[in-house]
Amino acid sequence: MEIKSAEFVISNTDVKKCPDKGLPEYAFIGRSNVGKSSLINMLTNRRGLAMTSSKPGKTLLINHFIINDNWYLVDLPGYGYATAGKSMRGKLKNIIESYILYRDELTCLFVLIDCRIEPQQIDIEFMEWLGENSIPFSIVFTKIDKLSKSKLSENLKAYRDKLFETWEELPPIFITSSEKGQGREELLGYIDEINKSL
Ligand code: GTP
Ligand code: MG
C-alpha cells in the first residue's frame, strides 16, 4: 500500500473526544519505550510525525493520524512505565483501557514486544485481558536490528512457546525494525487487506 498522505489530527485523554468520522483505525500499544511511535513514523515514512524519545513515557495521550484520508493510525501511551508515579500510572491505564474497550472504530490493535527480552508477565497478562474482552489484536516484535538472526529466531520461538501455554491459536505475528524499515510492507499489506474487507 502506498502512503500518499499522513497527518496528525488530534490528541486526547478522553475516548469520547476522538474523531467521529467512523473511519477504521489501527492502534499501537505496548510497554513504554518499546517503539510504538517510531513504528508509526516508519510505516508512514514521516520522520517526526509521532514524537519519540529514548526515555520512556514520551507518549501520554491518544494520538490520531489520518492516512490517505481514509483510515487512522493511533499512537497510544505505553503501559508499565515504572518510574511514573502511582496516580500517573492509574491515569494512563484508564486512558488506554477506555480507548481499547469503548472505541468502536478500533479495527486491530497491534501489541508491540521488544524482541530482545524474554516474555514479560505484564505483556502476557495484557494479551489475556484482550482475549477476555474479545479485542482483535496482532503481535509486532520490534527492534530486530538489535539482534543476530539466530538470537532473534531463538527469542521468537521462546515467545511462541510461552504463548502456547495459554493460547490454542496465535494471532498474526510481525517482525519489524523501525531503524531499518523491516516489516513495513507486511504490516501495511495486512492493514490494506483488512481495510478492503470492511
Ligand atoms: P512511549 O511513548 O514512551 O511509550 O515509547 P514508544 O513505545 O513510543 O517508543 P519510541 O518510539 O519513542 O522509541 C523508544 C526508543 O527506542 C527510541 O530511542 C527509539 O529510537 C528506539 N527505537 C524504536 N524502534 C526501534 C528500532 O526498530 N530499532 C532500534 N534500534 N531502536 C528503536
Ligand atoms: Mg510513544
DSSP-derived letter for residue 79 is B
Environment of ion ligand 2 (residues, CB < 5 A):
36-37, 58-59
Q: What ligand is nearest to the CA atom of residue 35?
A: 1
State whether the beta carbon of 48 lies less than 6 angstroms from ligand 1: no
* One pLDDT digit (tens) per residue for the chain, 198 residues: 999 999 999 999 999 999 999 999 999 999 999 999 999 999 999 999 999 999 988 888 999 999 999 999 999 999 987 677 888 888 899 999 999 999 999 999 999 999 999 999 999 999 999 999 999 999 999 999 999 999 999 999 999 999 999 999 999 999 999 999 999 999 999 999 999 999
Dihedral sign, Cα of residue 190, residue 20, residue 91, residue 56: positive
51: Cβ–Cβ under 8 A, 6 or more apart, which residues?
A: 37, 58, 59
Q: What ligand is nearest to the CA atom of residue 55?
A: 1
Residue nearest ligand 1's atom 29 by CA: 143
Q: Could you state, in order of their start, the residue ranges of all structural domains in the chain?
A: 6-197
State which ligand 1 atom lies nearest to the alpha carbon of 177.
27
In CATH, the architecture of 6-197 is 3-Layer(aba) Sandwich (3.40)
H-type alpha helices, the chain: 36-44, 86-102, 121-132, 149-164, 184-197
pLDDT recorded at residue 153: 98
Stated pTM of the model: 0.97
pLDDT recorded at residue 148: 98
State which ligand 1 atom lies nearest to the alpha carbon of 34.
7
> 49 forms bridges with which residues in the sheet?
none
